[in-house]
Amino acid sequence: MSTTKDAQRNLTAVDVMTSPVEVVGPTADVREVASLMLTRRISGIPVVSEHGEILGIVTEGDLLHRETADATTGRPDRAENPQGVTVRDLMSTPVITVGADVSLREIAELMLRKQIKRIPVVRDGRLVGIVSRADVLRGLVRPDEAVATAVRQVLRDGVRIDLSHLRFWVRNGVVSVEGAVESRCERELARRAVEAIDGVIQVDDQITCRTNG
């Protein structure tokens, strides 16, 4: 991950996603998929067509649910399908996906809202990566130096504040800002812009305003 890129803008899916992605086809045998999960130490695998289009996703939960159902009913795996149970029989669909340029914060909100642990990343309808909760957390925990660089750029280029009248520092994700700006409106814009930066946990705003506007 590029430190320069991290400092210049907020992170998106393409910055933190795992790529290439371990995938399986819809006819893959469930036991083989379970073995793959154990070997690769992953908890979910996208299911794709031969053209790379995402069809579904199969998770540890799907496999456990199937095992529990079979144990309850007493049905062997091959009772319904002589060729064996395939991923198509268990995969979750439709799949929630995001584009490569979706922000990390949007992905985090989506994961919380939909109660999901991973989200495939698509470009032009094809799978290009996958983002897990761990990826999101790692992306949101940025070094103080990178956060400080991002704050400086946002205030200077985004809000267009004269930084000669402000002083700020970052410690463990908390941004402290003191100094003076022209108006309350400018102060509010600055605060919101800094709060939106990935890695900022809290803003300690000690800015004064020269006018009441």
The DSSP symbol for 92 reads: B
Give the pLDDT score at 196.
87
CA 119 to chain centre: 7
Per-residue pLDDT of 50-94, as tens digits, reads 888 899 999 988 888 876 655 555 554 444 544 578 899 999 999
Give the pLDDT score at 102.
94
CA distances from 138 to 15, 46, 108, 145, 163 (A): 11, 22, 12, 16, 30
Cβ atoms of residues 203 and 187 within 8 Å: no
Give the pLDDT score at 211.
82
CA 95 to chain centre: 15
The one-letter code for the residue type at 165 is H
5 or 163: which leads in pLDDT: 163
First to last CA, the chain: 41
CA 141 to chain centre: 12
Per-residue pLDDT of 95-130, as tens digits, reads 999 999 998 889 999 999 999 999 999 998 889 999
Give the pLDDT score at 66.
72
Per-residue pLDDT of 9-62, as tens digits, reads 578 899 889 999 999 999 999 989 999 999 998 989 999 998 888 999 999 888
